């Protein structure tokens, strides 16, 4: 019997709260495209979702072993790992069961697409339907990036020509946030076609013209081939290992006085990321952190007075 085309693995990991960040990192590295955490007392139940074609039963068994080894390595009680198959409708409904409007920073409030926002909010309303993509605004790395974008873009004049790039756009939340704050042009890429489709859907949901938010399947190198000129700033919220691989190409992306926002980096990974940045003439202007995650605000060293 062949599996349904739109079938997903639902992975459930029950652990002590101290392991929640490490579990999230492991699940994201494994390729999961959506996660949700529920807390009861000192325990965390992390649910993650993965298209069936991206993992077999043996892959999931290996994932469970890695999660248990991670716990042993830091002296924590080993988690309980389970998985089962669900269809696309059940996957989508699982988000609606736990996701509510969430303010982020001073500028934004994230509203699920199925909840109508009020009309008298003082914040920018960012309507979102993550679909099959990562990025609901609930994870620390997404929140750190939105706050960093807010710091960079708040107060832009209406006639500005600021251009912005989003590498690994996921649901498009960071691209849309930049436009709501006044960026005139955003270019977004993701290597996952499901993320590209989610970004397109959320672009339309927020009433953003297609030519203002260009999105395409691909990586940084693909983006460099398609932007008409270097941008003023960029964000890259992906895993630290991928960021390290992209650093040699980042200077081609921005104007001489441009800047970048990097996240998806665990605190213990920061020194190795900074080392490679310094090799390519980047300096870290600020380091923000939330829980075990960090966000680096960077600029080319020759642009520093």
Question: Are 297 and 160 in a shared domain?
Answer: yes
Question: Are 119 and 265 in a shared domain?
Answer: yes
Separation of alpha carbons 63 and 79, rounded Å:
12
Which of 70, 95, 120 lies at the terminal end of a domain, its last residue?
95
Q: What is the pLDDT along the chain (305 residues), one digit of tens a residue?
A: 333 346 888 899 999 988 887 888 888 888 886 677 777 888 888 888 888 888 888 889 999 999 999 899 888 999 999 998 887 666 556 656 667 788 999 999 999 888 888 887 889 999 988 665 566 677 788 999 999 999 999 988 888 899 999 999 988 999 999 999 999 999 999 998 888 998 999 999 999 999 999 999 999 999 999 999 999 999 999 889 899 999 999 999 999 999 999 998 988 899 999 999 999 999 999 999 988 889 999 998 764 44
Question: Are 88 and 217 in a shared domain?
Answer: no
Separation of alpha carbons 53 and 194, rounded Å:
13
User: Is 0.85 topped by the overall pTM?
Assistant: no
Separation of alpha carbons 83 and 64, rounded Å:
10
Question: Are 43 and 157 in a shared domain?
Answer: no
Domain CATH code at residue 250: 3.40.50.150
**Residue 2 covered by a domain:** no
Q: How many domains does the chain have?
A: 2
Through-space distance between the first and last CA atoms of the chain, rounded to whole angstroms: 66
Which of 34, 68, 95 lies at the terminal end of a domain, its last residue?
95
Domain with 203, as residue range(s), is 102-303
* Chain centroid offset of residue 294 CA: 13
Question: Are 29 and 113 in a shared domain?
Answer: no
| Residue 168 CB contacts under 8 Å (≥ 6 apart), including other chains | 189, 190, 191, 195, 236, 237, 238, 242, 264
């Amino acid at each position: 019997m062949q599996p349904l085309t739109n079938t997903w693995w639902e992975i459930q990991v029950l652990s002590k709260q101290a392991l929640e960040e490490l579990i999230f990192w492991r699940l994201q590295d494994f390729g999961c495209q959506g996660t949700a955490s529920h807390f009861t007392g000192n325990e965390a139940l992390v649910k993650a979702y993965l298209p069936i074609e991206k993992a077999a039963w043996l892959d999931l068994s290996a994932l469970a072993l890695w999660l248990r080894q991670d716990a042993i390595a830091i002296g924590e009680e080993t988690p309980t790992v389970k998985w089962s198959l669900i269809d696309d409708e059940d996957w989508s409904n699982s988000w609606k069961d736990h996701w509510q409007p969430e303010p982020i920073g001073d500028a934004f409030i994230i509203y699920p697409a199925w909840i109508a926002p009020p009309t008298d909010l003082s914040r920018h309303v960012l309507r979102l339907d993550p679909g099959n993509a990562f990025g609901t605004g609930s994870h620390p790395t997404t929140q750190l990036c939105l706050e960093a974008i807010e710091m960079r873009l708040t107060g832009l004049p209406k006639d500005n020509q600021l251009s912005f790039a989003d590498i690994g756009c996921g649901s498009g939340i960071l691209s849309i946030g930049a436009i709501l704050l006044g960026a005139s042009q955003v270019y977004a890429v993701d290597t996952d076609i499901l993320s590209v489709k989610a970004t397109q859907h959320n672009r339309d949901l927020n009433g953003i013209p297609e030519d203002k938010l260009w999105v395409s399947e691909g990586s940084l190198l693909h983006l460099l081939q398609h932007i008409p000129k270097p941008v003023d700033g960029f964000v890259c919220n992906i895993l630290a290992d991928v960021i390290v691989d992209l650093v040699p190409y980042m200077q081609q992306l921005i104007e001489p006085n441009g800047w970048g926002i990097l996240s998806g980096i665990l605190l213990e990974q920061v020194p190795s990321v900074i080392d490679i940045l310094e090799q390519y003439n980047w300096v870290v202007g600020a380091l923000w952190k939330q829980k075990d995650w960090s966000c680096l605000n960077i600029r080319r060293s020759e642009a520093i007075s």
